[in-house]
Structure 1
Amino acid sequence: MKNQEFIKVRGARQNNLKNINIDIPKNKFVVITGLSGSGKSSLAFDTLYQEGKRRYVESLSAYARQFLGGFEKPDVDSIEGLSPSISIDQKTTSHNPRSTVGTITEIYDYLRVVYANVSVPFHPSKNVALEKQTIEQMIQKINQSFPKGHTIVILAPIIEKQKGTHQKTFLKLSQDGFHRVMVNEKIYLIDEVPDLEQKKSHSIYVVVDRIEVNDVNQNRIFEALEQALNLTNSKVFVKSVDNLQNDSSQKLPFLKLNRNYHLEGVDVDIPTREPRLFSFNTPVGACLSCKGIGFQTEENGFLPLDKTLNELIIQIFQNVDPQDTFIYQKQILINLCNHYKIDMDTPLLDLKGKIIDSIFNGLSSKYTRHKTLDQEVFWHQGHVFEGLLGIFKIYRKNNQMDTNCFDCKGKRLNPGALLFKLNGKNIYELTNLSINDMLIFFENLVLGKEEAKIIRLALKEITHRLTFLKEIGLGYLTLTRNGATLSGGEAQRIRLATQIGSKLSGVLYVLDEPSIGLHQKDNDLLINSLKKMRDLGNSLIVVEHDHDTMLASDYLIDIGPKAGIQGGNLQAAGTPKEVMQNPNSLTGKYLSNKITINTPSVRRKGNGKKIWVKNASKNNLKNINTFFPMEQLVVVTGVSGSGKSTLVNDVLLSGLREKGLLKNKNSYQKNPNIVDDANCVTKIVEISQAAIGRIPRSNPVTYTGIFDEIRDLYTKTEEAKMRGYQKGRFSFNVKGGRCPVCTGDGVKKISMHFLPDVYVVCESCKGTRYHQETLSIKYKNKNIAQVLDLTVDEGVIFFQNHPKIKNQLEILQNVGLGYVKMGQPATTLSGGEAQRVKLASELHKKVIPGALYILDEPTTGLHSDDVRQLIKTLHHMVDQKATIVVIEHNLDVIKNADYIIDLGPEGGNQGGYIIAQGTPETISENKNSYTGKYLKKILAH
């Protein structure tokens, strides 16, 4: 190959990369793989994409660059042959409530063009198409509406609710010979119209004529209507002069006539058919109540007096970040109840005693101690007790519920826009269909020859993009789906669809694990779509662990050998076959089956107890009945959108919580969907991919409790003892030792208003979180900030003489997080990393028999070698009498299950059925199961 056919990287040292030199073929499908933390993203995103982005910014004018800010050059000697680069990662698409699948893919924009050209308005209640109205019919309507001898004004609405000063409009009207206009309900001579505010919406109607309604003036009325219609193309308004003069004694109508639409005997105001009308982001089309958002925010109810204190504590505090100061209210409440011997299992209505007022209303004292008759009781330093009413008020504020808008019922558009239909469906009804059903709709769409010609290009774009979304396993989604509710994998594939739709060529696309969240069946379609992008003349660099994706690639790069400081080397590069033959490549050994993840020879039988799900019909579930056996590893499988998350999270997990499950307590309310056999569940632990904290102060060692032990070590140093430093001195969550400028965050948040917030390193502490006096205390020649900057792997070595700390760090190692820094801010952890931190936090606790652990795709971001370690960990937990329910697509995890529940057969409305359930061997023999088809191949090895 010629030099220009390669991206030539020389001396790449970004993050943990070890001076890598590599020639990456252009216009090929290239996969970069390796252990978690080995340096894959450092090469793909932090080096190649970052340099491509930097070069683009450098090509702009100095004026443009001042708005974008500087982009640091990655630590690399040179990169030649780099194309313009686009990154498609796993981050949530948008937190903007106006962002939907339709707007992200731009399909909705094309739909607006279609509806603006070929839709037909229907009467809102009679469901009858509105017919065209002649000028003669308009005159007849005027004669019926106004008595003879009455004076009317005929108006041409040339501007309706549009922002601007409209000076050019007034000048043009004056030049055309018009003398009067109605501006915002008032009539002016055209030369006397006051200056209009630029940023306010205005309506401007031309006064075409002022006429008395009688038999003699019928021709004059006809001419005035004709002239008005020529100005507006379709609409004319007729108003009584008395109404203009605010004569309240007259009850005469304000006629809004339309040449295009009319229904005999019915007065319907039909808006002008235009693309803006069908947009919920413009004042013309948006619902007036919710402004196009589709929902209204409500606080979540009143203090439930029928609940016990224990039940309330679970409801309020179960999802609170352990680092959040709000958690102190829980501790104070428990301390109060314990001290005054208040039964926390008594309903609030039945609580009695003098202290109850303080329980409900809080303690007015601002001191840290609450005085009793005989002693002082320490509650919590620096925190005033808010009382149950205050606590619940904070809870309601933090847990506001979004309910459908009362007026538009979540449709976002105003009633006028929803009158227009295409083949019997308005634009909301059409976009609320699944993508699969939308494709069927357009396949069966019948249009006239002229209509088809007008919207031919728009229809071509719509069907092309819908087809691609279906091909990448997203056919179950609707275009109305809010962008913020999409998973990382869904969001990435939607952005991929947008890029496919743009049909760019000569671009370098950098993708981050696009197979996440995909069933093997859907993954095959995704691979074909990636090849189509390559065939358009683009270079694809994909960070990926999926075996099929790697085997389908043109070129495979393996980074390793391990993670963190032990990674960053180029282990192998070449075709998949060449990598499989390379003895240095761990990935190659897995691809060639030289190393495999074992299949259990015996499946666990459990303890015979079950959690039954009865008649579940939430979302797309089809009234299913199934059970989850206790003390087994249960895996829920199925294609994307088949109902896995609904069954596990919305039915099983929510159902058990609604029953009021408490630790060491079996108080259940009735729930028709969940039957817990003999109350066998003693504890529920949801290990989700949600962030472990919403603030930079949260990190792996604070979440797992390791940091408490580390701070203890620093308080025991001679220097700390001499200065009288207590444990709190080394915390960045309280005043004392932390940096006073950033209050222990290490960064300062800059609000970008319409863009995501930006964090910049604190100028005072330089990101260390502490002030200099605290940092002067050292343990083994490292201060507290330097210890937090160690990776977990480095921490294991550093604390090898402290078994308690070492053992807890080894648990983080065992779940594949050895490369993560101990003090890495929670806001920078991926969903998979956050989930494994939570898993590690649970693993160092003693497993309680009857504990139920729920995990959602724990293999996200894991190499096969990490998956092997994860499976070993899950088996260890089940052997200790835990029950684990996992939603998963990874076949190595599925083949290790004791029991499988397979949902399908497809996604969306075509899913929600139980296709098969039983052991992996049972599933593999089921001909109706897509999972079974792929499982059979892997079990045969």
Structure 2
Amino acid sequence: MIQVRGVRVHNLKSIDLDIPLNQLIAVCGVSGSGKTSLAFDTLYAEGQRRYLETLSPSARQYLNQLPKPDADQITQIPPAIALRQNTSQRHFTSRGLETTAGIESGIQHYLRLLFSASGQIFCPDCEIPISPQSPETVLAFIKTLPTDLRFQICYPVTTEEHSSPEIMQELKQQGLNRVILNHEEYQLSDDLTEPLSQFDTNTHEILVVLDRLSTRSFDDSRILESLEFAFNESAGKVTLLVMEPLSGQTTGIPFQIGQRQSFRFDFSADMSCPQCQREFAQPEPQLFNFFSPSGVCTNCGGSGLISIESSGGRSAETCPHCQGSRLNASALAVRVNGSNIDQLGQQPIQQIGAWLEQFSEGLTATETKPLAPLLREIRERLSLLNELGLGYLTLNRTRSTLSSGEIQRTALTSLLSSNLVNTLYVLDEPSSGLHPADSHRVLTVLQKLRQLNNTLLIVEHDAAFIRAAEYVIELGPAAGRAGGEVIFSGPLEALLASNSSPTSRFLNTAENRALKSVPDQPTSEWITLTDASRNNLQNITVKFPLRQLSVVTGISGSGKSSLIEQTLFPLLAAELSETGTSPLADGCQSLSGAEQIDEVILLDHSFTGQNPRSIPATYLNLFDDIRSIFAQTPDARLRNLSPGHFSFNSKSGGRCPVCKGTGKIEIDLQFLADISMDCQECHGKRYQRELLEIKYRKLNIAEVLKLTVDEAFPFFRGQPALQKKLKQLKDVGLGYLPLGQPLPTLSGGECQRLKLAAYLNTSSRNKTLFLMNEPTRGLHPLDIQSVLNCFHYLLTAGHSIILIEHNLDLIRAADHIIDLGPEGGAEGGRIVVTGTPAEVAAHPTSYTGMALNAKFS
């Protein structure tokens, strides 16, 4: 057992728990009840802190700064690894380049090692293999030439430091006899004044003839001696001139010497093509990394796209230099088993396994031994991606084109491929973004990980995942200060038998009310997309009803995001813009019905704020009102403090000078993930002591920012403008959210609902179409009704809503369902069925229909 005693982190009320090791444990409870505080801020934080204590002194220099969770005692905790939803969203580098499925899953790193260890360079123009040459390799080539051929061993001389006459004099002193100038052969003993006067050092070269031989008989030592001399004198260059016509299989560059036709072969100790002289970089892992200066395409900067200025404005086109691969020519010239790393990344993951086996079979025992660990890692990750149902993806797919379920599973692949044992894995909603038909895939992998003597702690709301757990911890009973207590802790069987658990209530409640067969509100207005073909969409025509709740369903990868976020939204946004131009050629043939709405708003999972200075209070402009209230207090007036002094973003305000108002200090551990800890100057309060002495209704500004929305609503009684904004946060199910929580720590669903609250705040009278992707993510089933109430309010006001959703309670509430599939990737992108929940449930092959039947019939 992990023994936890007296935990007081955030809203946890000095809780005691015994958590069994080597089991799958679900932590559940209503939103804001303290699940994250227990799982991540207590157990993961302490597991990570203790692991660092085992490291070297150079790493431990930071340990005195690492905060211990506020608890009386935590014992028997193993080393911990975590996967949070928000941290897996950091997918852009400092230069704004986007990661890919291969990078997110960890496979790309191993493929770079494989290509640098076993890659063969091929000149893309001449289609011949390139490798650094030596006297021995050139001798081997000479021995492949037909019998009775005459050839000359030469080397080129550069004229950078000396004049041509000086070079001739030096060659003569070395005992050399012949040179080739401007395609004519001369004796060094001849008068070279005239040929040298016509010699252009910029366009012509001096070829020094070392030896003239024939393939009739070979004197290996003589040839090697000449070749070694040539390589030494020319900084690694040798030129072979073959004097007779060659057979078809051996070709060289035609080279005229006087009236004689010869064929030229150039060899280099560097990576250069012997035919066209093109140079290539030595393969090493960073050469195959478009985030690295070594591998990046310099034309597009690694984005794969270039910006084109045209009469219609700026548009992005595929980079002509790298063809969208984001890598430079040297990286793309390296092949393993016939493919370069970009071509491999364009294959579906399920086909890469066969490529790898074919490559492995061609290796000798000596070659296999050093590559064995590398090949094992790649195989295991490929196998895990296939097991998680992602075999249809390509490794080159950029992260923004992946659905939330695909993102969650690629991140899981990287985490679960570590093959650690006796470790505590803390996972934030592994069910996120998964259709109910996909859940068993992730659960199977989690069970395998647990069988390796690991402890899995999952923060979950999904019934299937809670039912799969062996042990359940439920926190509550409500959110914020009304939560933080252990409602239930014990085996799943005991939870199902419990009468006091809200989670037990929804697990045991049989929903047998008839599914909706008629929309709540009839409509005659539709938006129609004709022949949508973005990504895997199979030229489908889709009709979306207006003034209704529409839900797009289907298993992960079936084309939902491609349809809504990447096709419908950009087309509607362009159609409704001032220019009125619509890029229909890209992914769709026609769009009709846009004139029936005034605006379209996409509420996606992207961060609403990229830094810890952004908080819900600033995002909804609540903070301006709060600062004004504090500035009007008698103490603030006495000290002549303005609202600006209560800003933690202003340099001239009263923010803490050490953390600059963030309340946190980031520690870069280099070899591990960065650690964030409370500032030791202000103890996480963001402000200087003078500002914290000013109080409104017995609370200072730092304490007000710690209030949840539900707590702040009665606190600001008598402030109607402020309470109106707080009410909108409560309406979208964010009543548990602290006013000062940094926005980058919010889940994707919380980000969406925060944006929705901001739009409710503007109270637009326009006819708006809201597009949302999984607004229920992170919500307990008992909290979903608040979001449905909010949607009902919008629909009643004449707006329209289209959602991408997997949650069956929300799908059940839809007026119109568009079910895509039947599978993911190339097997998806088609319409399986459309209609009301009852009509979808009646369809025999719809995965969504089957899930609705299983839960509600």
State the TM-score, normalizing by the size of structure 2: 0.78
27 and 403 in structure 1: CA distance in 2 versus 1, 3 angstrom threshold: farther
The match for 1:135 among 139, 151, 163 is: 139
Local SS of the residue matching 1:823:
coil
Q: Distance in 2 between matches of 1:597 and 1:698?
A: 43
Deviation string, structure 1 residues 801-843 (Cα, Å, up to 9, x no partner): 4444334323312322222222333343333222211122223
696 and 443 in structure 1: CA distance in 2 versus 1, 3 angstrom threshold: closer
Whether contact under 8 Å (2:425, 2:457) holds in the other structure is: yes
The match for 1:888 among 793, 805, 809 is: 805
Alpha-carbon distance, 1:115 to partner: 4.9
Alignment of 1:323-338 (within 5 A): none
Structure 1 equivalent of residue 788 of structure 2: 871
Alignment of 1:310-349 (within 5 A): none
Local SS of the residue matching 1:659:
helix
292 and 139 in structure 1: CA distance in 2 versus 1, 3 angstrom threshold: farther
Whether contact under 8 Å (1:473, 1:518) holds in the other structure is: no
Alpha-carbon distance, 1:425 to partner: 2.8
Local SS of the residue matching 1:657:
helix
Alpha-carbon distance, 1:62 to partner: 3.3
1:279 aligns with 2:288: yes
Whether contact under 8 Å (1:581, 1:588) holds in the other structure is: yes
Q: Distance in 2 between matches of 1:678 and 1:81?
A: 61
Q: Distance in 2 between matches of 1:284 and 1:762?
A: 36
Structure 1 equivalent of residue 25 of structure 2: 30
Whether contact under 8 Å (1:95, 1:484) holds in the other structure is: no
Structure 1 equivalent of residue 414 of structure 2: 498
Deviation string, structure 1 residues 442-461 (Cα, Å, up to 9, x no partner): 57779447379566664443
Q: Distance in 1 between matches of 2:76 and 2:431?
A: 28
Q: Distance in 1 between matches of 2:631 and 2:639?
A: 10
Structure 2 equivalent of residue 359 of structure 1: none
Q: Distance in 2 between matches of 1:282 and 1:708?
A: 40
139 and 236 in structure 1: CA distance in 2 versus 1, 3 angstrom threshold: farther
Structure 2 equivalent of residue 589 of structure 1: 505
Whether contact under 8 Å (2:150, 2:213) holds in the other structure is: no
597 and 523 in structure 1: CA distance in 2 versus 1, 3 angstrom threshold: farther
Local SS of the residue matching 1:520:
coil
Structure 1 equivalent of residue 155 of structure 2: 152
1:555 aligns with 2:471: yes
439 and 933 in structure 1: CA distance in 2 versus 1, 3 angstrom threshold: farther
Q: Distance in 1 between matches of 2:778 and 2:791?
A: 17
Alignment of 1:49-198 (within 5 A): 49-66=44-61, 70-90=65-85, 91=87, 92=89, 94-96=91-93, 97=97, 100-112=100-112, 115=115, 124-125=124-125, 135=139, 137-138=141-142, 152=155
Structure 2 equivalent of residue 699 of structure 1: 615
456 and 925 in structure 1: CA distance in 2 versus 1, 3 angstrom threshold: farther
Whether contact under 8 Å (1:32, 1:544) holds in the other structure is: yes
Alignment of 1:588-627 (within 5 A): 588-593=504-509, 600=516, 602-627=518-543
Structure 2 equivalent of residue 255 of structure 1: 266
Alpha-carbon distance, 1:902 to partner: 1.6
Whether contact under 8 Å (1:146, 1:252) holds in the other structure is: no
Alpha-carbon distance, 1:635 to partner: 0.7
Moved more, 118-127 or 45-54: 118-127
The match for 2:15 among 11, 15, 20 is: 20
Local SS of the residue matching 1:549:
helix
Structure 2 equivalent of residue 46 of structure 1: 41
Alignment of 1:678-757 (within 5 A): 679-711=595-627, 713-714=629-630, 738-739=654-655, 741=657, 745-747=661-663
Q: Distance in 1 between matches of 2:265 and 2:717?
A: 86
Structure 2 equivalent of residue 178 of structure 1: none
902 and 415 in structure 1: CA distance in 2 versus 1, 3 angstrom threshold: same
461 and 661 in structure 1: CA distance in 2 versus 1, 3 angstrom threshold: same
Q: Distance in 1 between matches of 2:695 and 2:63?
A: 41
637 and 597 in structure 1: CA distance in 2 versus 1, 3 angstrom threshold: same
Deviation string, structure 1 residues 619-638 (Cα, Å, up to 9, x no partner): 22222211110001011112
Q: Distance in 2 between matches of 1:653 and 1:292?
A: 28
Deviation string, structure 1 residues 278-305 (Cα, Å, up to 9, x no partner): 633799972563698454775x859x8x
- The amino acid across from 1:428 in the alignment is D
Q: RMSD of aligned C-alpha atoms?
A: 4.7
Structure 2 equivalent of residue 434 of structure 1: 348
The match for 1:782 among 688, 699, 720 is: 699
Alignment of 1:344-355 (within 5 A): none
Identity %: 35
215 and 445 in structure 1: CA distance in 2 versus 1, 3 angstrom threshold: closer
Whether contact under 8 Å (2:155, 2:238) holds in the other structure is: yes
Local SS of the residue matching 1:214:
strand
Whether contact under 8 Å (1:557, 1:573) holds in the other structure is: yes
Alpha-carbon distance, 1:146 to partner: 11
Q: Distance in 2 between matches of 1:769 and 1:136?
A: 72
Alpha-carbon distance, 1:759 to partner: 7.2
Structure 2 equivalent of residue 213 of structure 1: 211
Q: Distance in 2 between matches of 1:489 and 1:99?
A: 16
- The amino acid across from 2:40 in the alignment is F
The match for 1:907 among 812, 820, 824 is: 824
Whether contact under 8 Å (2:272, 2:278) holds in the other structure is: no
Structure 1 equivalent of residue 434 of structure 2: 518
Whether contact under 8 Å (1:33, 1:558) holds in the other structure is: yes
Whether contact under 8 Å (2:574, 2:580) holds in the other structure is: no
Q: Distance in 2 between matches of 1:239 and 1:449?
A: 33
The match for 2:569 among 653, 656, 661 is: 653
The match for 1:921 among 815, 838, 843 is: 838
Local SS of the residue matching 1:212:
strand
State the TM-score, normalizing by the size of structure 1: 0.71
Whether contact under 8 Å (1:508, 1:541) holds in the other structure is: yes
Local SS of the residue matching 2:568:
helix
Whether contact under 8 Å (1:283, 1:291) holds in the other structure is: no
Task: Give the gaps of 5 or more residues in structure 2.
Answer: 159-207, 242-256
421 and 817 in structure 1: CA distance in 2 versus 1, 3 angstrom threshold: same
1:568 aligns with 2:484: yes
Whether contact under 8 Å (1:98, 1:281) holds in the other structure is: no
1:798 aligns with 2:798: no
Moved more, 441-450 or 870-879: 441-450
Deviation string, structure 1 residues 407-454 (Cα, Å, up to 9, x no partner): 223324444553454554323211222223324545777944737956
Whether contact under 8 Å (2:154, 2:230) holds in the other structure is: no
Alpha-carbon distance, 1:616 to partner: 1.6
Structure 2 equivalent of residue 8 of structure 1: 3
Q: Distance in 2 between matches of 1:568 and 1:7?
A: 19
Whether contact under 8 Å (2:4, 2:18) holds in the other structure is: yes
Q: Distance in 1 between matches of 2:351 and 2:515?
A: 40
Local SS of the residue matching 1:255:
strand
Q: Distance in 2 between matches of 1:82 and 1:705?
A: 42
- The amino acid across from 2:351 in the alignment is D
Deviation string, structure 1 residues 171-198 (Cα, Å, up to 9, x no partner): xxxxxxxxxxxxxxxxxxxxxxxxxxxx
Q: Distance in 2 between matches of 1:24 and 1:229?
A: 74
Whether contact under 8 Å (1:631, 1:850) holds in the other structure is: no
Alpha-carbon distance, 1:682 to partner: 1.4
Moved more, 588-597 or 529-538: 588-597
Moved more, 817-826 or 518-527: 817-826
Whether contact under 8 Å (2:290, 2:297) holds in the other structure is: no
The match for 1:812 among 720, 726, 729 is: 729
Alpha-carbon distance, 1:528 to partner: 0.4
Q: Distance in 2 between matches of 1:606 and 1:512?
A: 39
Q: Distance in 1 between matches of 2:230 and 2:501?
A: 76
Alpha-carbon distance, 1:926 to partner: 2.3
Structure 2 equivalent of residue 222 of structure 1: 223
Alpha-carbon distance, 1:878 to partner: 1.5
Q: Distance in 2 between matches of 1:626 and 1:620?
A: 15
Local SS of the residue matching 1:32:
strand
41 and 783 in structure 1: CA distance in 2 versus 1, 3 angstrom threshold: closer
Q: Distance in 1 between matches of 2:19 and 2:35?
A: 14
Task: Give the gaps of 5 or more residues in structure 1.
Answer: 1-5, 156-209, 242-248, 308-395
Deviation string, structure 1 residues 750-801 (Cα, Å, up to 9, x no partner): 7969899887767877665566776665432334443233221211221244
Moved more, 536-545 or 605-614: 605-614
